[in-house]
Chain A
Amino acid sequence: MFSFCTDPSTLETYQWFACYFTTGKHANFYWAFVTVLLLLAVTAPTSLAMGFGGASAARSRIAPVRWLGHGYISVVRGVPDIAFFLFFVIALDQGLEFLRHSALCPDWDQPIRQGNDFIVCDAAKLPLGNAPQWVHEVYGFALAVFTFAIVFGAFAANVLYGAMQAVPRAQLETAEAYGMTHRQTFWRILVPQMWVYALPGLSNLWMVLIKATPLLFLLGVEDIVYWARELGGTANPRFTDYPHGDWRMWYFLFLLVFYLAFTRVSEVVLERLMNRLTHGQATTGGEAQRKAA
């Protein structure tokens, strides 16, 4: 990376660190942070959308749709966390392969579950056996995003459902009195007003989502936890020996600090956003702002 790195014998300690932390292997580690941020950037809107769908379904006037919405919310929220993550990744993978199998290989006569094996025809494998490495990585990442979205969508649905209920009833009644249809009332009155009620819950959820990202490691993505373990260890089968002892503690300390900083920044930003949204609202917060001004 730096020109002085070419002659290792002359290096002083700090220079050695500068060289060591810019090696190709460490670049992988830094890219993993980008993966985490990318996951957050993709998952947050997806789960918000899932949550919006779930909450609207739970409020629906059609009974089966309502049951579906309530069922989705309560099943996902009732079952312990990581069990869900571990379950969904395999279940989704097998579900997709089974669907492709039924579509692509209709004349396959053997059962799919043979004892302990799950066998589909070659054409139905996901990703295909001859696909390049990046396809495998993207597929794993997409499964992870989808799993996160399902789980966090249920939590977002719960928050948004509560927020929708919190919008004063009189507002909706007024809208109906003006002759608005259900659809119009929903989009023009309910949705714009619910955000201020939803924000405390959603910001809480965002914090939880940040703290859930290390679980990517459990889903088989090569994320920051994976690289911290790899690079901090003394040696491992894929590379030659590292020039240091067991540094995993320091690598994880670095991750700990990263997460703390990330949480702190989010807290500050969300607080500002809340201030903006409360402005001019008929709530205690809005009233306090009006008096202070």
Chain B
Amino acid sequence: MDSCLQTIGDYGLRALGYGERLLPRSDFTLCQQFTLIGSGMLWNIYFGVFALLAGFVLAVAVAMGKASSNRLVRKPSEWFIFLFRGSPLFIQFFFAYFFFLSLKGVSPIFDAFSSAWLGALIVLFLNTAAYSGEIFFGALKSIPKGDMEAADAYGLSGYAKFRRITFPTMMRLAWPAYTNEAIFLFHATALVFFSGFPARQQRGDALYYANYFADKTFNPFVPYPILAGYFILLTLVVILSMGAINRRLNRHLGKAPKLKIRPTLIR
């Protein structure tokens, strides 16, 4: 038990570069596997949370853009959504990494972009913005006609109408689908260190360490179930917090519609 606490002390923040430098090389204990894979989860949470928050803002903008009657706004929004939803995230990561790498040659300002913490975050941010933008656009199109007419009748227009009627209704309609999107996004963060972005000094995410153990022990039956367990926990946390927001969005309706969780895979 004490040795396990010791291991947690050594490797608990290994993914961020603190603690013991060398990874265990032989005689792997269960405790080491749990600790290191859990430490890698910090990256998955980091990527997921920040991409989701930033992506939300851009997604609303893109959805409004796609619904706009102005061609100059609509076309770029449509293309943005098509570009990121039509190609595999895996290829997007690779392309972005090599793109940032060649930018690095132009100016040292771009140095940070070729490391995962920023470069991969940008890709995930744009990717989730496109997927959520499409979801929000769909919700925007299905706002009941009567709601908008009522807003007009009350003399609301422009920004006030958007803030009080359009936006809240859009969120309410989009929220179940958006919850699914949030779950996929967290799952998609596992791709980061398997695409172009290198894990410098073996600071990787959960899948990176799970794969490390599977390669070293040639036994996939321990690290991958641990990884799956962590991801299921993370998914539950996402579902609970998104559910809380869902109840808040629907508080005036008495009973919130149930979130229907439909996980898909790979984008």
Task: Tell me if B's interface is mostly helix, strand, loop or mixed.
Answer: helix
Tell whether, in the assembled complex, residue B265 and residue A81 are in contact, meaning their CB atoms are under 8 Å apart: yes
Q: List 16 additional contacts besides A94-B220, A225-B91, A264-B86; criterion CB under 8 Å.
A: A78-B263, A80-B231, A81-B266, A83-B210, A86-B207, A86-B211, A118-B218, A208-B264, A212-B88, A215-B266, A218-B194, A225-B90, A228-B94, A249-B95, A256-B87, A259-B88
27 A/B residue pairs, CB under 8 Å, sorted by A: A77-B265, A78-B232, A80-B190, A80-B265, A81-B187, A82-B190, A83-B207, A83-B227, A83-B231, A90-B220, A116-B216, A116-B217, A118-B218, A118-B219, A208-B265, A210-B88, A211-B87, A211-B88, A211-B89, A212-B266, A214-B90, A214-B91, A246-B101, A256-B87, A256-B92, A260-B86, A263-B86
Q: A211-B87, A252-B98, A255-B91 are in contact. Are A82 and B266 (CB under 8 A)?
A: yes
- B214 contacts chain A at the CB level, 8 A cutoff: yes
**Binary A-proximity of B212-224 (CB < 8 A = 1, otherwise 0):** 0010111111001
Looking across the interface, which residue of chain A has its beta carbon closest to that of B264?
A208
Q: Which of B26, B91, B194, B221 makes the CB contact (< 8 A) with A91? A: B221
The distance in angstroms between the C-alpha atoms of A25 and B94, with both chains bound, is 21
- A82 CA to B92 CA, complexed, in Å: 16
Quick check: is A253 within 8 A (CB to CB) of the other chain?
A: yes
Footprint of A on B, CB under 8 Å?
A: 26, 28, 82-83, 86-92, 94-95, 98-99, 101-102, 187-188, 190-191, 194, 207, 210-211, 214, 216-221, 224, 227-228, 231-232, 235, 263-267
Task: List the A residue with the shortest CB-CB distance to B230.
Answer: A80
B98 & A232 in contact (Cβ 8 Å cutoff): yes
Question: Number of A residues whose C-beta is below 8 Å from B?
Answer: 43
Say what secondary structure dominates the interface of chain A.
Answer: helix
Chain A residues in the interface with B (C-beta under 8 A): 77-84, 86-87, 90-91, 94, 113, 116-118, 151, 155, 208, 210-215, 217-218, 225, 228-229, 232, 246, 248-249, 252-253, 255-256, 259-260, 263-264
Distance in angstroms from B33 CB to nearest chain A CB is 13
Do A82 and B91 contact each other (CB < 8 Å), given the known contacts A212-B266, A249-B102?
A: no
